[in-house]
Amino acid sequence: MRAVALPLFPRYTGGPTMVRSRTLEGITVLLVDDDPEELAVVGTLLRSEGADVTTVARVEDALRALHSAPPRVLVSDLVIPGHDGFTLIRRVRRLEKEDGGDLPALAISGFGNAEQRRYALAEGFDEYLSKPVHERIVATVARMASTPRC
């Protein structure tokens, strides 16, 4: 019987070994959440996929950001002290189309119940994800950015 020695790991020969797709390349996202950790984690995840992300913690700041640099997709937590995500989407939907009134909007929430989801969609959000959103947000934002809002 003959023994054959095989390397445990392939040898690096230089050059690219993996081509990484940047799913959100060129997509601008406005991310609204009062939780600094959530802003950091979700913002970093979206950026790692190529998105240009603006993060804000308050509805008033979101409206200012929307007017100064309109995003392709809005992602907002629903529970925000002061004005909440529902207030934000109602104000966005009152805008003219050219001012962002038809902006695709994703609601995210730590309270993942069916009633809140129905209410979020009825108020004007296009999609709803329960937290944690980390595994699903990239695909959801990519789909929303590529599909015109009806």
User: How is the chain split into domains, by residue range?
Assistant: 28-146
CA–CA separation, 134 and 142 (whole Å): 14
Per-residue pLDDT tens digits for 122-146 = 999 999 999 889 889 999 999 999 9
What pLDDT was estimated at residue 12? 42
pTM exceeds 0.95, yes or no: no
Of 119 and 11, the one with more pLDDT: 119
Specify the fold of 28-146. Rossmann fold (3.40.50)
Evaluate if residue 99 carries a pLDDT over 90: no
Q: Assign residue 41 a region (left: φ > 0; alpha: ψ between -120 and 50; beta: otherwise).
A: alpha
What pLDDT was estimated at residue 18? 47
Q: Are the C-beta atoms of residues 39 and 58 closer than 8 Å to each other?
A: no
Q: What percent of the chain has pLDDT over 70?
A: 85
Burial of 70 (0-12, 13-18, 19+ CB in 10 A): middle
Contacts of 44 (CB under 8 A, 6+ apart): none
In the predicted model, what is the mean pLDDT of residues 103-108?
Answer: 97
In the predicted model, what is the mean pLDDT of residues 2-12?
Answer: 52
